[in-house]
Every structure is written in structure tokens, then in C-alpha cells.
Amino acid sequence: MTITSRISRRNFIRISGLSSVALTLGFYIPSKGKGVAVIKTAGDAAHQGIELNAWISVDKSGKVTIINHRSEMGQGSFQSVPQIIAEELEVDLNDVNIEFAQGSQTLYGSQITGGSSTIRGSYRRLLQLGATAREMLIEAAAKKWNVSKADCYAEKGQVIHKPSGKKYGYGDLVEEASKATPPTDVALKDSKHYKIIRKPMPRQDTPLKTNGVAVFGLDKRIPGMLYAVVERNPRFLGKVKSFDDTAAKAVPGVKHVIPVQMNVFSHKREGIAIVADNLWSAMQGRKALKVEWDDSGFEHHSTDQLYAKMREDVKTGTPLSFRTKGDASKVFNAAEQKVEAIYETPYESHSCMEPVNCIAHYHDNKCEIWGPIQGPDWVQADVAPMLGLKPEDVTVNMTFLGGGFGRKAFLDYPHEAAVISKAIKSPVQVVWTREDDMTQGPFRPGMVYQCKGSLTDNGSISSYETRMAGQNMDHQNRGADHGSYNSSTTEGFLETYLNSLPNYSFGDVPLESPIPVMWWRSVYSSTNAFAFESFIDELAVKAKKDPIDFRKQHIWDSRYHELINKLEIVSGWKNRKANEGYGVAITECFSTIVGEVVKVSKKADGKVKIDKVWAVMDCGWYVNPDIIRAQIEGSIVMALGAATIHETNFKDGKAVESNFNVYKMPRMTDTPEIEVHIMDNEEKAGGVGEPSLPPFAPALTNAIYDLTGRRIRKLPFLLETV
Amino acid sequence: MATINLKINNQAVTIDADPKMPLLWAIRDIVGLTGTKYGCGIAQCGACTVHLNGTPVRSCSLPVSTVANKEITTIEGISSDNSHPVQQAWIQEQVPQCGYCQSGQIMAATALLKKNSNPNDKDIDAAMQGHICRCGTYPRIRKAIKTASLIINQKASVK
């Protein structure tokens, strides 16, 4: 499909090449002043010219196609985006097909699927888009019948003339509708009248994922495709000194052995690619390859060294100040009642079930890419200059992603595929083995936090300080200012606390390390929350107050109180028994508030077990409660792993844990009962895919403190050893 | 290289492959059935699970030469139209998120239910413990196995 038309009025794009066969509406960002514009959301002109987005098309058979600019990695955009459109468009959800967009910042604006942003970033425009198309179809029918538009309404893909009962299917109306000018004053439904939104509609991608039909990156095949694996330097900055490919080339099926580089932020990672006519042969060739690495000129860090440095940094380093109010340290020093604590969280691997992989086909000064990719526009922008091509000559296609969690927003693997394809003049799929995926990074950064707080005589917080030490992801970029603070220093903290705390100070001491780090589901909230919500609990204990009452005392916003009250009731917080430990944590992440209560008790052998988790999410306006439940369940399981099971260690400059035999995962029997509640309100939509991960770890350790009196300040810890 | 006769999903397939090649890669890259997934290569995650003469096995760790002429069933052989009770239950309970591990999970669940159509929680734990789901769909997998059990037993009672 090509976009050839200029807009008819100021707000919608129509695709003129299709106007006789389809009604197509869309919106996207202005591109160098060419005929483009964005939808003007009622009363919200602020959205003009920023981001943008999907478009929809109704064809002559009445089928609706939506181009989704974001990726599907399990979080449910494949379902929730059409669910929004179908509501206002008045079509059966089964008549809506969704197609993945190709990467194009010019067409869609940001496509990066991160920050739990797909719905919260576009729902208003999607609603408006569906409603506008519906009104145009109604108008077309009224015109054809020569009746008043007010006497017509739309339902299930048809326009109905109320007085006569006459009907037109949408397909019969698209030709007429495509000639009309899109109205600018379409009213959106009141949420009370939603038929599809807020209903637990089954996901359209589910049946594709129960019979092997869904095509993930690793399943994609293109004609003539070869397979490559890459032996990369196991250290993060090392180079190739020399290699001997004699034995590798002797392996049947091996076609090429070539040195290859890929960008890892501002560094180059060096390796040797083995290309064969099947993946197994490439793997055998790799085993036969002999490489000598040059690992001189940089420090070969170990976990112990990294954490020793961070522990020193939080105590004696000069923090880069992020947010401050009053004079927290002065108040702390003068206070009688005070608490001080150090918290530590580990480096972690994303370990998506589908290891990273990517197909590239470089030919005739163009490059086409297919893969499990979280940011197709980023891949386009990154790969084009590397190959000496213009962005429009690089086509990036998304497949389903077998997990993402932030890892697949990183550009190293498409980069490798593109340069290998160009070098061997053939389409190629680069596959990372599980060991590559787990040891090469990027990782969630390990962090150390120092928290200090003081209390007034009546037990309210008079000062609150956090110093965070660890890698700043932004500092990895070429030309980054290493003196800049980490703007994620308060991620996970309840914003409302900043109103009630009279004195606070948040700062960070960045750790310089060659270990590549990247967003890991909920990003810095995933580690910050452990420090923040453990420390609030420690302050509550010091103040001799109930942890929930203590939090409420410092929250002045009724929206948070409603969530906490709900959590208190559903978890039975007030009626807990003496032999049960209850812990609470409440965090804010990507504009969504989540409270979790964990209940623990002792098994017959005296060891601690998790009995149940209650989660209450307030994500404001939402689409599909079943997807939300699934995301909360999954986030809790993922958080459980990072809190009590796995961590990535480094020794002599290399990652230690290389596969699931040592980087163990939560499994069926580790999973506690999880009860989920969703707050119903009309607040702005917040994120869903990530925000319920951060509160789990502190709620668990707070529960263990409640049961045993033992305060856990370092993750991960083994439940067995409590 | 060797000529190997495979029986996959009731179809005879003759392939020419390194006898040491794991069954997983023969299925995916030579036979061309991509529903069976690569997750770890060392029999730790269960994503590559197929049935060998009805028993769930890790195809990533089985040399293809050892399975010649044996009955191999992959996810594609369970049913292509999602008519199998386990697939129906998986859809009813909305189990998959990213979906990558679910072929292996379904293969394990179908084998369990064939042996024991009324599994209790302990039976489910034992059958599913070897399967990793990074999206954390475990609560729904457990529920779906119980739902599948109901569907299977209802069908049996109708007969």
C-alpha cells in the first residue's frame, strides 16, 4: 500500500489510491511539511504534531484492517489496539485484522514498544479514529438513502435506518464514504456504554499460539536464506587478535567464515561469523573455529569489585542531584529518630524465551530486515547509515516476539545480520544461542542504594534521602555527558510522597563499566522500588505504626487512598493471624499505581513459603481486564525470579551464568496464588505491561520481616535460607 | 551425512542430515515445521518438547539418527484447527502471552492427560515443572490443564 494523497482537511489522511475500494483513515506526524497531519483529539490539541500512529482501512467486503505500529511481545497490543477501534467503529472484533507496520519514523513517529506506552500513548486517537470512520459511513448511507443522518445508526458493521429498518453493510458504503470529508466534531462514547472495551475479550493471537502457526523471528524463512552464528569476544570490550577457520570451513554445510563487528552503544563488539546452509552446521563450524582474543587495555571486572565500588560510592561519592526539597541531610543529622539502610539489587539477564535473532537481505543498495524487534524505526535509523544507505532503503518488518522485556529494543543483532548479509551477498538469519543471549548482554544494571530518613516526634517523616549507585543507561550513548544525573532516580517512587515529605533529596553516583545495560521490564523501577518500599517499611517500624497506615499518613491524594483501601480489604490485612506475615508495597510506574500484599508463613520444616499475592492496579482508563490480569500475573512471576532465584554475576570481565541450568527460572511450583483487582475510573490511561513488577520484591521482604523479624536488604535471596 | 527415515505427524519423511543433528533442528530447518521451538539447547526449558512414541521428549538433545522410524508428534500434529481439548482449554483460559514456550507446554500437557485424564495439582507440577515460561503463565497453564481434563471427561461420558 502506498500513501499518495494529501489530506482533505486538516486532520485526517486518506489514501487516494485506495479510495474507490476502501475507506482509509489515519494520522501521522508531519514529514518535512508534506501533506500530513494528525488527528485533533477533542480538546487536546497538545497531541498535534507529536508521536503518531496507526491507520485503519475498511474494504468493500466490510473487513477492517488496522496497521499497528507497535510490536507484540506478549503484552497484548495485537488485541487491545483493535479492541479500541472496534468499539467506536461498531464492528465485530472478529472482522478486524491487525497487521504489523514496517519501521518508519516518518510515517508513524516513535514505534519503540517500551515504557508500557502503546495504549496510554494512543488510545484517545484510536477512539477518535474509529468514531470518525463510523460517522463517515453513517453519512454515506444517509446520502444513498436520501434520509436524515440523525435517523441512522451503526451496529455490527452495518448502518441501519431506524424508521424503515433498511441496512447497508459497511462494505457497500466505503466508496461513498471515501469521497466525504472527515468530520471534526465526532463525540466519543461514554465509557458506561462500552460494548467491547473493558470486557475480557479473548485475544486474537491466542489461536495462532496454540497450534504452532504464529511466526516468531526464529520461524521466519525467506528464499535462499543462510544461517549464521557468531563467536563473539566473551569480554565486553575485547577485540579479535587472530583466527584460524580451517577446521570450521571443513564442516559440511559451512559456507563463509568472516570477521564481524556490531555496535554496542558507543563500542564495537568483535567476533567471527560462521555462515552455513543450516543452523546446526553453523553451530558445528563455530565449535571448530579457533580464535585468539585481544583483551588488553580494559579492566576485567568481577561482581565483587563492582559492588564494592558501588557500596563505597553511596557512602562517599558525590551524588548527581536529581530532585531535592528543603535540606534533608541537615534535618537528618539533627533528628533523634532516624533510620539508615543499604539495599542491593543484582544484574539480571532478560532471557526472553526466544533468543535474539534477525534476518537481513542486502541487495541492490537496499536492505530488508525481519525479526523480533521492539523498535523497527530505531533499527531503520541505525542500520541505514551503517550500510551507507538512506533510511527509506532499509525496510524493517516485525514478526511476533517470543518475549521482549526491553532486550529486543537493542540494536546489536539487526546490526550483525545486516553487515553479514552485505558481506556474503546473501540473505541470512543470525541466531544467538541461549548462551550468547545470556552472556553478551545487555543486562539490567545492578544497583546499590543508601536510604536515610528521620521522623518527627509524632512519627511522620521529616527527611528522606536516597543515593543510588549503578550504571546510568544514558551514559552509554556516544557523546553522552557523564556528568548528567540519572533522570530515573525516582522511578517507582509514589509521586504523591513528594508533596507530603517536607525535606527530600534523590541523587545518583554513576558507575562506569563496559557492561552493556538496557531496560529490563519496568526499568529502574524494578530495582528502585525494592529500596524505596523496603525503606518506607523500616520507617514505619521505627515509628511503631502499621505499614499501611504509615503510608496513608504520607499520601494526600484520594486516588491513592482508594487503591490502598481496596488492597487492605481484599487482602484481609487487618484480620491477619499471628503466624502469618503480611507485607505491602505500593509503587508508581509509567503512570500506573500498583499496590501488592504478599502473605507468607512457615512450612512444617520452619522454612518460609509464599501463600498468596494480592495485587490492585489503578491504570486509569483501560481496554481489556483479562490482558491486565495476565500482565500482572506474569510480572509477579518475573519479579519473583529476580527477587529469589536468579542473578547474573561477572568474573574476570565475563558473565558467569550462561544457560537455564545455572540461571534458574521460576517454574510452576514456585508460583504462588495471585489475586488481581483493577480499579475502575476515568483517569488517563497508564501502562499495563510493566508496573506490577516493582512492588512484588519489597512486599515479599516486608512480609518476611513481619513474620520473622529478619530484614532482607539484598536481592536475590533464597527463600530456602530465610 | 546420512539418509534418515522419519515419521512425523503420521507422515513419512526422508531426510539427508548429519546423524548427530538434534531432532529439533531436523524438524525445524529440514522438515520445515517451525512450531517446535529452540529455547536452551540443553533440555532445561522444555520449549522443544515433542512426543516420541507418545512420550514427551526434548528434541534439542536427541540425535536425529536415534529416532528413525519412531512415531514423532509435534505441535502441528496435535491439530491444526485447534480442535484438541488441550488447545481448546488453552484458548478458553487465554494462556499464551508471547506464546513462544506454549508449543512445548501443550505437548507436555497432552501427554500428561493422555496418561491421566484427571490429574491433581501434584501430577500437574510433576509433568510441567520442566517447562519454563518467562511470561509467567503458570497459573493459567494449571487452570487450562484442569479445563482440558473436564473437556476430555465430558467427551468420554457422551460416548
CA-nearest residue to A207 within chain B is B91
Contact: A637, B18; criterion CB under 8 Å: no
**Chain B residues within an 8 Å CB radius of A671:** 136, 138-139
The answer to whether the beta carbons of residues A612 and A634 sit under 8 Å apart is: no
Contact: A212, B98; criterion CB under 8 Å: no
Contact: B133, A202; criterion CB under 8 Å: no
Q: What is the mean pLDDT of chain B?
A: 97
**pLDDT for the residue numbered A107:** 65
**pLDDT above 60: residue B58:** yes
Looking only at the bridges linking them, the beta strands covering A504-510 and A461-470 are parallel
CA-nearest residue to A203 within chain B is B94
Q: What is the DSSP letter of A323?
A: E
Report the range of poorest mean pLDDT among A60-64, A666-670, B23-27, B56-60: A60-64
> Angle at Cα A678 formed by Cα A676 and Cα A679, nearest 5°?
145
Residue that has been written with the C-alpha cell 577457520 in this structure: A245
Q: What is the mean pLDDT of chain A?
A: 90
CA-nearest residue to A219 within chain B is B34
Residue A685's pLDDT band (cuts 50, 70, 90): very high
Residue A119's pLDDT band (cuts 50, 70, 90): confident
**Chain A residues within an 8 Å CB radius of B110:** none
Q: What is the DSSP letter of A515?
A: S
Cell numbers standing for residue B100: 513462544
Q: What percent of chain A has pLDDT over 70?
A: 92
Does residue A94 belong to the interface with chain B, where contact is any CB pair within 8 Å? Answer: no
C-alpha distance from B141 to closest chain A C-alpha (Å): 9
CA-nearest residue to A350 within chain B is B134
CA-nearest residue to A210 within chain B is B87
C-alpha distance from B143 to closest chain A C-alpha (Å): 12
**pLDDT above 80: residue A39:** no
Does residue B133 belong to the interface with chain A, where contact is any CB pair within 8 Å? Answer: yes
**pLDDT above 70: residue A17:** no
Residue A176's pLDDT band (cuts 50, 70, 90): confident
ω into residue A666 within 30 of 0, thus cis?
no
**pLDDT above 60: residue A622:** yes
Does residue B106 belong to the interface with chain A, where contact is any CB pair within 8 Å? Answer: yes
**Chain B residues within an 8 Å CB radius of A610:** none
Contact: B136, A638; criterion CB under 8 Å: yes
The residues, ordered by sequence, that sit 6+ positions from A203 with a Cβ below 8 Å of its Cβ are A76, A78, A79, A627, B94, B96
**pLDDT for the residue numbered A52:** 30
Q: What percent of chain B has pLDDT over 90?
A: 96
What is the CA A56 to chain-centroid distance, rounded?
A: 24
Q: What's the CA gap between A217 and A49, in Å, rounded?
A: 33
**DSSP code per residue over A107-173:** HHS-----TT-HHHHHHHHHHHHHHHHHHHHHHHHHHHHT--GGGEEEETTEEEETTT--EEEHHHH
The answer to whether the beta carbons of residues B86 and B110 sit under 8 Å apart is: yes
Does residue A637 belong to the interface with chain B, where contact is any CB pair within 8 Å? Answer: yes
Does residue B31 belong to the interface with chain A, where contact is any CB pair within 8 Å? Answer: no
Suggest the residue from A75, A78, A204, A209 to mutate for an interface test with chain B (most B CBs closer than 10 A). A209
**Chain A residues within an 8 Å CB radius of B44:** 659-661
Contact: B91, A202; criterion CB under 8 Å: yes
Suggest the residue from A113, A208, A211 to mutate for an interface test with chain B (most B CBs closer than 10 A). A211
Contact: B1, A626; criterion CB under 8 Å: no
User: What are the pLDDT digits (tens) for A397-443?
Assistant: 999 999 999 999 999 999 999 999 999 999 999 999 999 999 999 99
* Out of A219, A221, A665, closest to residue B134 by CB: A665
Contact: B100, A660; criterion CB under 8 Å: no
**DSSP code per residue over A384-413:** HHHHT--GGGEEEEE-B-S--TTGGG--HH
Contact: B38, A218; criterion CB under 8 Å: yes
Q: Look up residue A43 and give its amino acid.
A: G
Q: Would you tell me how many other CB atoms lie within 10 Å of the CB of residue A178?
A: 22
Residue that has been written with the C-alpha cell 517447562 in this structure: B131
Interface of A with B in 27-86 (CB under 8 A): 73-76
| Predicted structure pTM score | 0.94
Q: What is the DSSP letter of A381?
A: H
**pLDDT for the residue numbered B15:** 96
Task: Give the three-class secondary structure for A87.
Answer: helix
**Chain A residues within an 8 Å CB radius of B140:** 630, 633
* Out of B96, B124, B131, closest to residue A206 by CB: B96
Looking only at the bridges linking them, the beta strands covering A267-276 and A254-264 are antiparallel
**pLDDT above 50: residue A4:** no
CA-nearest residue to B82 within chain A is A211
The answer to whether the beta carbons of residues A433 and A387 sit under 8 Å apart is: no
Report the range of poorest mean pLDDT among A390-394, A616-620, A692-696: A390-394
Does residue B29 belong to the interface with chain A, where contact is any CB pair within 8 Å? Answer: yes
**Chain B residues within an 8 Å CB radius of A73:** 98
Contact: A210, B106; criterion CB under 8 Å: yes
Residue scoring higher pLDDT (A71 or B6): B6
User: What are the pLDDT digits (tens) for A468-495?
Assistant: 999 999 999 999 999 999 999 999 999 9
Interface of A with B in 124-183 (CB under 8 A): none
User: What are the pLDDT digits (tens) for A282-301?
Assistant: 999 999 999 999 999 888 99
Does residue B63 belong to the interface with chain A, where contact is any CB pair within 8 Å? Answer: no
Q: What's the CA gap between A528 and A638, in Å, rounded?
A: 16
The answer to whether the beta carbons of residues A425 and A297 sit under 8 Å apart is: no
Does residue B49 belong to the interface with chain A, where contact is any CB pair within 8 Å? Answer: no
**pLDDT for the residue numbered A117:** 80
Residue A46's pLDDT band (cuts 50, 70, 90): very low
Cβ density class A262-277: b for 16+ within 10 Å, e for less: bbbbebebbbbbbbbe
**pLDDT above 80: residue A606:** yes
User: What are the pLDDT digits (tens) for A539-591?
Assistant: 999 999 999 999 999 999 999 999 999 999 999 999 999 899 999 999 999 99
**pLDDT above 80: residue A209:** yes
* Out of B36, B82, B128, closest to residue A668 by CB: B128
**pLDDT above 50: residue B107:** yes
CA-nearest residue to B101 within chain A is A353
Give the residue from A3, A587, A216, A499 showing the smallest Cα distance to B47.
A216
Give the residue from A370, A76, A113 showing the smallest Cα distance to A205.
A76
**Chain A residues within an 8 Å CB radius of B97:** 74-76, 630-631, 634
Q: What percent of chain A has pLDDT over 90?
A: 79
Residue A58's pLDDT band (cuts 50, 70, 90): confident
Does residue B58 belong to the interface with chain A, where contact is any CB pair within 8 Å? Answer: no
Residue scoring higher pLDDT (A537 or A11): A537
Q: How far apart are the first and last CA of chain B?
A: 49
Q: Is residue B82 classed exposed, middle or buried when 0-12, 13-18 and 19+ CB atoms within 10 A define those classes? A: middle
**pLDDT for the residue numbered A22:** 61
Interface of A with B in 405-444 (CB under 8 A): 405, 433-434
Task: Give the three-class secondary structure for A615.
Answer: strand
**pLDDT for the residue numbered A701:** 98
Residue A620's pLDDT band (cuts 50, 70, 90): very high
* Out of B75, B130, B137, closest to residue A634 by CB: B137
ω into residue A691 within 30 of 0, thus cis?
no
Report the range of poorest mean pLDDT among A47-51, A314-318, A632-636: A47-51
Residue A35's pLDDT band (cuts 50, 70, 90): very low
**pLDDT for the residue numbered A296:** 92
Report the range of poorest mean pLDDT among A131-135, A217-221, A313-317, A635-639: A131-135
**pLDDT for the residue numbered A132:** 86
Residue A61's pLDDT band (cuts 50, 70, 90): confident
**Chain A residues within an 8 Å CB radius of B98:** 73-74, 352-354, 400-404
Interface ipTM > 0.90? yes
Contact: B39, A671; criterion CB under 8 Å: no
Contact: A211, B131; criterion CB under 8 Å: no
Does residue A209 belong to the interface with chain B, where contact is any CB pair within 8 Å? Answer: yes
